[in-house]
Amino acid sequence: MRHEVRFSGYGGQGIILSAVILGRAAALYDGKHAVQTQVYGPEARGGASMGQVVIDDRPILYPEVADPDIYAIMSQQGFEKYGVRARPDAVMLLDTDLVRSRPGCRYYEIPATAEAKTVLGREIVANIVMIGALVTSTGIVSREAIERAVLDSVPKGTENLNMKALKRGFELGERVCNL
C-alpha cells in the first residue's frame, strides 16, 4: 500500500532530516521502498520548510507526493502552506504549541517542542520526538527500523539524547492513539 507522508515546519527544525530518517528507516531497515523529496527553494532558516516521503511495499514509480495521507506539522506557517488542504481521511500530527490551527481531518496533538525543551533539555530534538510519535501513532515503519535510521543520521555524541527523544515520542504517540 502506498503511503505519502509530509513533514512541515520552519527551516532549522530538522524537517527535511525527519523525512530523510523516515525514508531511510523504510528503505534500509523495513524492507520497503521509499522515495524522499523536499521543497527545494530559496527558503532560509525560519521560512516554511517541507520534506516528504513515499513509502510502499512495491517499487515506487511516480515519485512525487500528490495527496499525503500522513502529516507531521511543526509550525503555523507550515500548516497554512502545506497542511491546510489535507484530505478528510488523512491523519495529522501537530506540534501542540507551535500550530494554532486544527485541520478537518483526524489529528493528534503532540507537544514535541515543549517535551524536547523541558523534559529533554534540548529543543533541537523536537523533530525526533515528533518522528517517534509518528511511528507509534501510524505504524508507518517499525520501531527498530526508525531507531536504526535515527542512529545513522544524528551526529556522534548525541545518540543517547536522540534515543531518549525518540522513546519519549513513542510514548506520546501511543498515548494519543489510545485516547
Partner 1 sequence: MSRVEFMQGNAACAEGALAAGCRFFGGYPITPSTEIAEAMARRLPKAGGVFISMEDELASIAAVIGAAWTGVRAMTATSGPGFSLMMENIGYAAMTETPCVIVNVQRGGPSTGQPTRAAQGDMLQCRFGSHGDYSIIALTPNSVQETFDLTAKAFDLADRFRVPTFLMTDEIVGHMRERVTIPDAVDITRSSPLAEGSLPFEAGDDGIPGFAPFGSGRAVHVTGLTHDERGYPDTTDPAAHDRLVRRLVAKVESARRAIADYEVTNPDAGTVFVTYGPPSRTVEQVMRDYPDDAVGHLRLRVVWPFPEFALHEFPNAETYIVPELNMGQVVREVERHVDQPVVPLGKIGGELHTPAELVRALEAHR
Q: List residues binding partner 1 (CB under 8 A).
A: 20, 23-24, 27-28, 33-38, 40-42, 60-64, 66
Q: Which is nearer to partner 1, 66 or 179 (CB)?
A: 66
Q: Which is nearer to partner 1, 126 or 149 (CB)?
A: 149
**Residue 114 Cβ vs partner 1, minimum distance, rounded to whole Å:** 30
**Residue 165 Cβ vs partner 1, minimum distance, rounded to whole Å:** 21
Alpha helix segments (H runs only) across the chain: 15-24, 76-82, 112-118, 126-138, 143-153, 159-177
Rounded (5°) CA angle 155-165-80: 95
50 - beta bridge partners? Answer: 8
Q: Which is nearer to partner 1, 5 or 94 (CB)?
A: 5
Give the sign of the dihedral formed by CA 172, CA 15, CA 57, CA 152.
negative
**Residue 116 Cβ vs partner 1, minimum distance, rounded to whole Å:** 25
